[in-house]
Amino acid sequence: QVQLVESGGGLVQAGGSLRLSCAASRSIFSIYTVGWYRQAPGKQRELVALIFAGGSTNYGDSVKGRFTVSRDNAKNTVYLQMNTLKPEDTAVYYCNLHQLGIWGQGTQVTVSS
């Protein structure tokens, strides 16, 4: 199975930006749908963004216009650029390969007021 590793999380002030990375152990993102999800303590996991193999994208309503998902197939990496961060964006962020049903371990994003 493919291994996924998320990175790039951290502590940032409201209005700031972070870029998350989801790195795969081999070249796969050109053929798989990749989703970014997040989960705050005590909350349901929610969809943040999707990027399909063909390059089209979808976003959750709460992040539309602020977040951008992209990929670099040569680097086996999917990115989530997060701008204009809000405290309610605080969560653990995960990437997922839909066709394989595998997840990374997540990266913590904390946005302070």
Residue 27 reports pLDDT greater than 90: no
- 44: how many CB neighbours lie within 10 A of its CB? 6
**pLDDT for the residue 31:** 85
**pLDDT for the residue 28:** 77
Q: pLDDT by residue (tens digit) across 60-108?
A: 999 999 999 999 988 999 999 999 999 999 999 999 999 899 999 999 9
Residue 43 reports pLDDT greater than 90: yes
Signed CA dihedral, 23, 24, 28, 34: sign only: negative
Three-state helix/strand/coil letters over 32-94: CCEEEEEECCCCCCEEEEEECCCCCEEECCCCCCCEEEEEEHHHCEEEEEECCCCHHHCEEEE
**pLDDT for the residue 90:** 98
The confidence band for 10, taking pLDDT boundaries of 50, 70 and 90, is very high
